[in-house]
Amino acid sequence: MKAGIVGLPNVGKSTLFNCLSSAKAQAANFPFCTIDAQMGQVSVPDERLTKLAELVHPGRIVPAVCDIVDIAGLVKGASKGEGLGNQFLANIRECDAIIHVLRCFDNGNIVHVDGSVNPVRDKEIIDTELQLKDLETVEARIKKVEKAARVGGDKQAKIELQVLEAYRDALEQGKSARTVTFETEDENTAAKGLFLLTTKPVLYVCNVDDASASTGNAYTEAVKKAIEGEDAEMLIISAQTEADIAELESYEEKQMFLEDMGLSESGCNRLIKAIYHLLTLQTFITAGEMEVKAWTFRKGWKAPQCAGVIHTDFEKGFIRAEVIKYEDYIKYGSEAAVREAGKMGVEGKEYVVQDGDIMHFRFNV
């Protein structure tokens, strides 16, 4: 999983990235401070792993991870190569989800590339640039398939042309491609093959001042209203608060700081969990003396597909899955006790794996 952080220059992208990962992007008060996309890897917070480890006493705990890419600030005209536009857009194309950071705080010491704080305007600037790039992609593709669809009678080309025209109509109206839905499997397959920028799921992160970290402010309310018609999510975070938390050494210090701010959990933790939800990702767990480990899968996957996350041989030679519900493991205290209580499930190929399932796969290759 890879999520890209985008936004106008000086909205707090690199500060947030620094908090999320061990990588240190340069953070400074001028546009294009981040020239190259920088990659960081962050652990997905999961309290269940710690609680299981207290019972299993493994050699190590291995959380799920996701890649975060800090992409340099986009500007108006990026779709035509303004600023460092072409490079930025190529970086976004490689991501599974977009974290769109919006400046929702006033600070006269931090310049705004457009001279004033207006997160809704900023959102629309980047939306427009991504939409224009997608429109360029769609129109170029229409030229390639139109003849085969209309004259040659190519069935696949006809389906693709219908999808392309639907996207073109939406994009010309200033709507993102993700607002377009298709009914048939063939249409959805054709749509996925286009890899448009505005079909990617978006999490809008409102970067606020410390005082607004737990409550939001007028700027965040404006953003909330602006995205009502979108299939997108929103999160309120103070990047500066997160930077302060990151400097604290002990868990206790961090928790006290959060409590003082009126927060129950750090914004970074909430952000990673929100990305997981945005991408319909879930976690199953393997637990043994060697390690307690989290594995990422798509919601709705069946047992063989999840087995394949560990190793392709597990999926090819899948026989069955032994499943313990997390709550049962915690209640009974060990795998042996769960077995004795008759709470271990033996599941076949059609079993839909649930978030938090503790799995043991039987296979034969």
The predicted structure's pLDDT at residue 365: 79
Hey, CA dihedral for 355, 358, 361, 362, is it positive or negative? negative
C-alpha 70 chain-centroid distance? 13
The predicted structure's pLDDT at residue 203: 94
In the 8-state DSSP scheme, what is residue 211?
Answer: G
Assigned token pair, 136: 């360029």
Classify residue 227 as exposed, middle or buried by CB count within 10 Å of its CB (0-12, 13-18, 19+).
middle
The predicted structure's pLDDT at residue 261: 82
Assigned token pair, 263: 């927060």
**What residues does 75 pair with on adjacent strands?**
none
Q: Are strands 233-237 and 202-207 parallel, antiparallel or unpaired?
A: parallel
- Cα separation, 338 vs 329, whole angstroms: 6
b/e map 16-34, b = 16+ CB within 10 Å: bbbbbbeeebebeeebebb
The predicted structure's pLDDT at residue 24: 45
Average pLDDT per consecutive 10 residues, the chain (365 residues; last block may be shorter) = 84 82 45 54 88 95 87 60 56 86 86 78 90 92 88 84 95 91 92 90 93 92 90 89 82 86 84 87 94 95 97 95 97 95 96 97 91
